[in-house]
Chain A
Amino acid sequence: MKIGEIVSNRILQDDYYEIKFYVPEICKKTQPGQFVHVKITNLQDRILRRPFSISNVSEDGLLTVIYKVVGQGTEALSKLPAGTVCDLMGSLGTPYSMPKADEFPIIVAGGYGSAATYLIAKNSQAKGILLLGARSKTDLILTDKFAEAGFDVRTSTNDGSQGHKGFVTELIAKALEENKGKKIRFYACGPTPMLLALAKILQELGYDDGELSLDHLMCCGVGACFACVVKVKADNEDGWRYARTCKEGPVFKAIDVYTGEQ
């Protein structure tokens, strides 16, 4: 197999695809929450790379990305057959720190945010809860993998088609109530509005060491271009500064997230 070769690229469920690349060097380096920056070869006049969260890595050098077809880049990616050789940069970005043995991890994920947090569940000695929210039951992905990894999976959907009807953040209170006295550690990935709401909750409850993966339209992937910034708290007159999600993030501490107007 060649470095960067696509080993498989298939529909996982509905609009969600699972692609596997042969990239042993990247796999060795990968930590939970990091991403790869992919040059999609069949994109004609579109020249920039696309960042994808790393969902899984294996010892035999296979790196898994789960993606949804949302635009030209992912549309083109979905058409690449196995055997195509791609150019991947990675693994990039600041990772999640793993839960310590005496901690109880609660992962809060929205949509395919479950893909970006799966490696925490897989690699962690300490097992906890996954709170996964999505629009509808067809958008809930990787629930079986989290269960296999020993996590208690609880879901919510906006339309009530599976689990709690409403927002995933509404599942937090009960999870906390049930696990009183434990050293709880939060992890999160999902759409920005969900993460900002969650950051506010975690700051209010004092879970400052919670870790949230924020992102924005990315360009260089290594901190050079300043395209992908989000506001984080800062000791200046505005109370915030723009931080690069590709380099200083995507994972930020809950205490550092600026919850005012982004």
Chain B
Amino acid sequence: MIDLSVDLGKFKIANPVMTASGTFGYGFEYKDYYDLKELGAVVVKGIATKPSHGNPTPRVAEVSSGMLNAIGLQGPGVDKFLNGAEYMPFLRTSAATVVVNIWGKSIEEYCDVAARLDAESEGIAALEINISCPNIKEGGVAFGTDLKLAHKVVSEIRKVTSLPLITKLSPNVTCIADFARAVVDAGSDMVSLINTLTGMAINVETRRPYIANMTGGLSGPAIKPVAVRMVYEVAQAVDVPIIGMGGIMTGDDAVEFLLAGASAIAVGTAIFVDPYAPIKVIKGIEDYLKRQGCKSVKEIVGAMVK
């Protein structure tokens, strides 16, 4: 029997596979495909203090081995998230391990949503602070690409909640390890990376950008080598658990992140290709461990041979 469980310090998960925020809705959308308890954790789409329209359309464009998106964090707002049947009440009944991704346009907004979730935290395992969305005009990546702001927003959120904090880092920086150190110093219990890489695609016939926001976040297999490298760099810089993501399609893709130093991983864009991708990745990791004669997934975390 192979032990797939992962200890993330503040909480434990049954296996190392999560869903990447924004790619799995609020879990509800996939309830008919499998039992959400089968996943290590469900990370929901970003929640803010107020409902948000998101960006104009078109919001996505397909590119080589990946996609650009600029959804712009459309969402119900924290009140509806906590009370609407298809959001947190559903997730509580599903018994899934739930991580709530949060965002704001200001430090006050980040703290407000964190405090609201803290006050009704039944069924919430952790908060993931999104300081890395490249697609909104205010907030988001503005906090994730400035070391002082990144430290400030995390330390202020730390003051208003005792829930475990995961900070999701942006790859759109020169040295991601510096940001990992800053947010851990500010009280983040772990880090997740990478969010999408800012990109652009232009229709040469119309000469217009494919997405209305002009730029969008690149995800999918195209970004995996960048993500693996960044996870490796961050693993050298901080001692907290790392949740690695970026283009994971298969179990072997996930294993690369674990070998680079991630304790857990998230599947994102692959879910759009195949809703069962996270389940297949769990199986793929188990197959790898069997093949390699490992008894526990913990044996391969950071086990890359130089």
Footprint of B on A, CB under 8 Å? 39, 45-49, 87, 89, 216-217, 219-227, 229-230, 236, 238, 241-242, 247, 262
Pairwise interchain contact B25-A229, C-beta atoms closer than 8 A: no
State in angstroms the CA–CA spacing of A48 and B274 once bound together. 9
Q: Is B271 close to A, CB under 8 A?
A: yes
State which of A48, A87, A225 has its C-beta within 8 Å of the C-beta of B23: A225
Pairwise interchain contact B74-A223, C-beta atoms closer than 8 A: no
11 more contacts with CB within 8 A, not counting A48-B272, A225-B60, are: A45-B65, A49-B273, A220-B23, A220-B25, A224-B23, A224-B25, A224-B30, A224-B271, A226-B54, A227-B59, A230-B57
- Chain A residues, CB < 8 A from B60: 217, 219, 225, 227
CB contact under 8 A between A225 and B66, given known A49-B273, A217-B57, A241-B53: no
State in angstroms the CA–CA spacing of A118 and B51 once bound together. 38
Q: Is B24 close to A, CB under 8 A?
A: yes
Pairwise interchain contact A216-B54, C-beta atoms closer than 8 A: no
State in angstroms the CA–CA spacing of A255 and B74 once bound together. 23
- Chain A residues, CB < 8 A from B22: 225
State in angstroms the CA–CA spacing of A32 and B232 once bound together. 51
Pairwise interchain contact A220-B64, C-beta atoms closer than 8 A: no
State in angstroms the CA–CA spacing of A134 and B240 once bound together. 61
State in angstroms the CA–CA spacing of A220 and B22 once bound together. 11
Pairwise interchain contact B29-A222, C-beta atoms closer than 8 A: yes
Pairwise interchain contact A227-B29, C-beta atoms closer than 8 A: no
Pairwise interchain contact A224-B54, C-beta atoms closer than 8 A: no
- Chain B residues, CB < 8 A from A39: 273-274
- Chain A residues, CB < 8 A from B53: 238, 241-242
- Chain B residues, CB < 8 A from A227: 59-60, 69, 71
Q: Of residues A48, A219, A224, which shows the largest number of chain B Cβ atoms within 10 Å of its Cβ?
A: A224
State which of A46, A238, A241 has its C-beta within 8 Å of the C-beta of B62: A46
Contact with A along B55-78 (1 / 0, CB 8 A): 001111110111101010010000
- Chain B, Cβ-Cβ closest to A221: B272
Pairwise interchain contact A220-B271, C-beta atoms closer than 8 A: yes
- Chain B residues, CB < 8 A from A242: 53-54, 74
Q: Of residues A49, A230, A242, which shows the largest number of chain B Cβ atoms within 10 Å of its Cβ?
A: A242
Q: Is B275 close to A, CB under 8 A?
A: yes
Q: Of residues A221, A227, A247, which shows the largest number of chain B Cβ atoms within 10 Å of its Cβ?
A: A227
- Chain B residues, CB < 8 A from A216: 57-58
Give chain B nearest CB distance to A10 CB in angstroms. 27
- Chain A residues, CB < 8 A from B59: 217, 226-227, 229
How many B residues have CB within 8 A of the partner chain?
Answer: 31
- Chain B residues, CB < 8 A from A229: 54, 57, 59, 74
- Chain B residues, CB < 8 A from A220: 23, 25, 29, 271-272
List 12 A-B residue pairs with CB atoms under 8 Å apart, sorted by A's residue number.
A47-B65, A48-B67, A87-B274, A217-B61, A219-B60, A219-B67, A222-B30, A225-B272, A229-B54, A229-B57, A238-B53, A242-B53
Pairwise interchain contact B221-A47, C-beta atoms closer than 8 A: yes
- Chain A, Cβ-Cβ closest to B32: A222
- Chain B residues, CB < 8 A from A247: 29
State which of B29, B64, B67 has its C-beta within 8 Å of the C-beta of A223: B29
Pairwise interchain contact B275-A89, C-beta atoms closer than 8 A: yes
Pairwise interchain contact B65-A225, C-beta atoms closer than 8 A: no
Q: Is B220 close to A, CB under 8 A?
A: yes
- Chain B residues, CB < 8 A from A262: 57
Give chain B nearest CB distance to A215 CB in angstroms. 11
Give chain A nearest CB distance to B125 CB in angstroms. 20
State in angstroms the CA–CA spacing of A89 and B32 once bound together. 12
State in angstroms the CA–CA spacing of A47 and B247 once bound together. 11
- Chain A residues, CB < 8 A from B274: 39, 87
Query: For residues 210 through 224 of chain B, which have their beta carbon under 8 Å from a beta carbon of chain A?
Result: 220-221
- Chain A residues, CB < 8 A from B30: 222, 224
State in angstroms the CA–CA spacing of A161 and B278 once bound together. 52
- Chain B, Cβ-Cβ closest to A46: B62
State in angstroms the CA–CA spacing of A47 and B66 once bound together. 7
Pairwise interchain contact A222-B67, C-beta atoms closer than 8 A: no
Query: For residues 197 through 241 of chain B, which have their beta carbon under 8 Å from a beta carbon of chain A?
Result: 220-221
